[in-house]
Structures are given as structure tokens and as C-alpha cells.
């Protein structure tokens, strides 16, 4: 049976993209501790990335990125809303989220 939707109407699967991201404005508390950027000390207004390998990365407003081993894809899926756009580059995705 042919695919139900034509290719131009299909959404990429999680394996077709490098990752998904969301904005997290409030302080991020993991295991009872507020996460801060190890480089600049920022503690709010994160971009949270869930990568294809299910690892979680945090990016502060200054652009510093750090892996967050205390979070996983299950946490991300529970806290993120539905995907509303796909972006061909990281920079375009960050602009869309106000970074």
C-alpha cells in the first residue's frame, strides 16, 4: 500500500533531525539543585536541547553549552510542547526561540 501522505506533507521523524529544542525561562532545578552555567553563572533563560542520542544539553543566553546528565529524553518529552517548526540550521532555530 502506498504511503498515506505525500512526501511534502510528512513531518521528519526524530531520527531525521539532529535534535529538538525548547526554551526554558525559569530556573532549571535538577535533583533539588538550580543549574547554573559553569562558564558565566546564568541560571535561567536556557535553551534545552534533546539530541538524536537522547542526551540533553543546555545553552545559556551567552551561548555556552553544557551536557546535563541529570535530565533525559523522557523529562524533555514531558516538559516540551509539540514541535511547531523545523529549522535547517541551529542558528535559525535559536532565532526562532529568541536567542
Among residues of the chain, what percentage have pLDDT more than 90?
49
Enumerate residues 6+ apart whose C-beta is below 8 A from 17. 52, 86
**Which residue(s) pair with 24 in the sheet?**
46
pLDDT tens digits, one per residue of 29-74? 999 999 999 999 999 999 998 888 889 999 999 999 999 999 999 9
pTM of the shown model? 0.79
Which one, of 3, 53, 45, lies nearest residue 28 by Cα? 45
Amino acid at each position: 500500500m502506498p504511503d498515506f501522505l505525500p512526501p511534502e506533507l510528512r513531518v521528519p521523524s526524530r531520527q531525521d533531525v539532529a535534535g529538538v529544542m525548547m526554551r526554558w525561562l525559569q530556573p532549571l532545578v535538577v535533583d533539588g539543585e538550580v543549574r547554573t552555567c559553569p562558564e558565566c553563572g546564568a541560571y535561567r533563560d536556557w535553551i534545552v536541547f534533546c539530541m538524536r542520542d537522547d542526551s540533553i544539553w543546555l545553552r545559556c543566553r551567552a551561548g555556552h553549552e553544557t551536557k546535563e546528565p541529570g535530565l533525559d529524553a523522557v523529562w524533555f518529552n514531558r516538559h516540551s510542547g509539540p514541535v511547531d517548526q523545523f529549522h535547517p540550521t541551529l542558528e535559525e532555530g535559536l532565532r526562532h526561540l529568541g536567542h
